[in-house]
């Protein structure tokens, strides 16, 4: 029987989301709520690894989603840095006037308590597992199946990458519905673009974590 890995990946995504939804609903139980991020990270990493291993997909070794040389790593770091410099200065200006005009909030720069802990949490319990599953695993398979390029908000992305962005945003609402979840689609376009530019996920992991930290800082800085 012909293998349909993209279809299997979508089924696995649904299964993972259902398990995460159950964890979230049971978060009042200390043994679940206290380690919810850890359980989620483990599931998002090991589920795709198990699927590809059972399928004997050695050519899709998850280690290939990371750089294999210092030169490749430096290229990803440079692209991450340039993307931050290109996107965040205008975003911060827009965010400032948005907060001021629509909500009449004033700006007072906040400081993170335990910044190192928060940064490590965002890197290893949020950005890494989410990018591993969605950009490394899911986007990798869907982009192979739907490789045609489409321009979206100035970024050239495969159809598979765009579908992944939609699924990424929608997945957050499955776990816990929030009205603003639709907006997750837009930064995910950048995550997807970084993945397709480098063919690895290091830059998207770093940009994802950095974005989350900036958004959290903005939320604390306007009152």
In this prediction, residue 152 carries a pLDDT of: 87
**Cβ proximity of 23 and 39 under 8 Å:** yes
In this prediction, residue 129 carries a pLDDT of: 98
DSSP codes, 31-67: HHHTTHHHHHHHHHHHHHHHHHHHTT-GGG-GGGGS-
In this prediction, residue 2 carries a pLDDT of: 46
Token output for 191: 């995550």
In this prediction, residue 192 carries a pLDDT of: 98
**Cβ proximity of 137 and 45 under 8 Å:** no
pLDDT along the chain (223 residues), means of 10: 80 97 96 96 97 87 93 98 97 94 91 87 97 97 95 92 97 90 94 97 98 94 90
In this prediction, residue 3 carries a pLDDT of: 67
**Cβ proximity of 138 and 167 under 8 Å:** yes
Please give the model's pTM, rounded to 2 decimal places.
0.95
In this prediction, residue 180 carries a pLDDT of: 85
Q: Which stretches does DSSP call E strand in 109-178?
A: 149-152, 155-158
In this prediction, residue 96 carries a pLDDT of: 94
For the four alpha carbons of 92, 153, 73 and 169, in that order, the dihedral sign comes to positive
Domain range for 78: 5-221
The domain total for the chain is 1
């Amino acid at each position: 029987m012909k293998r349909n890995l993209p279809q299997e990946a979508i089924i696995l995504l649904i299964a993972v989301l259902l398990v995460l939804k159950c964890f979230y609903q049971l978060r009042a139980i200390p043994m679940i709520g206290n380690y919810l991020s850890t359980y989620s990270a483990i599931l998002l990493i090991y589920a795709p690894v198990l699927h590809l291993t059972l399928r004997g997909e050695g050519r899709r070794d998850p280690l290939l989603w990371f750089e294999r040389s210092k030169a490749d790593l430096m290229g990803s770091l440079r692209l991450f840095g340039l993307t931050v410099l290109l996107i965040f200065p205008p975003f911060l200006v827009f965010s400032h006037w948005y907060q001021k005009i629509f909500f009449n909030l004033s700006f007072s720069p906040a400081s993170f308590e335990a910044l190192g802990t928060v940064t490590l949490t965002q890197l290893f319990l949020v950005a890494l597992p989410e990018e591993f599953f969605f950009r490394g695993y899911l986007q990798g398979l869907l982009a192979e199946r739907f490789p045609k390029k489409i321009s979206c908000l100035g970024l050239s992305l495969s159809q598979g990458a765009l579908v992944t962005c939609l699924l990424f945003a929608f997945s957050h609402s499955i776990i816990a519905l929030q009205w603003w979840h639709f907006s997750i689609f837009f930064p995910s376009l950048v995550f997807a673009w970084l993945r397709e530019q480098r063919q690895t996920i290091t830059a998207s992991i770093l940009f994802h974590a950095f974005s989350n930290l900036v958004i959290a800082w903005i939320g604390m800085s306007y009152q």
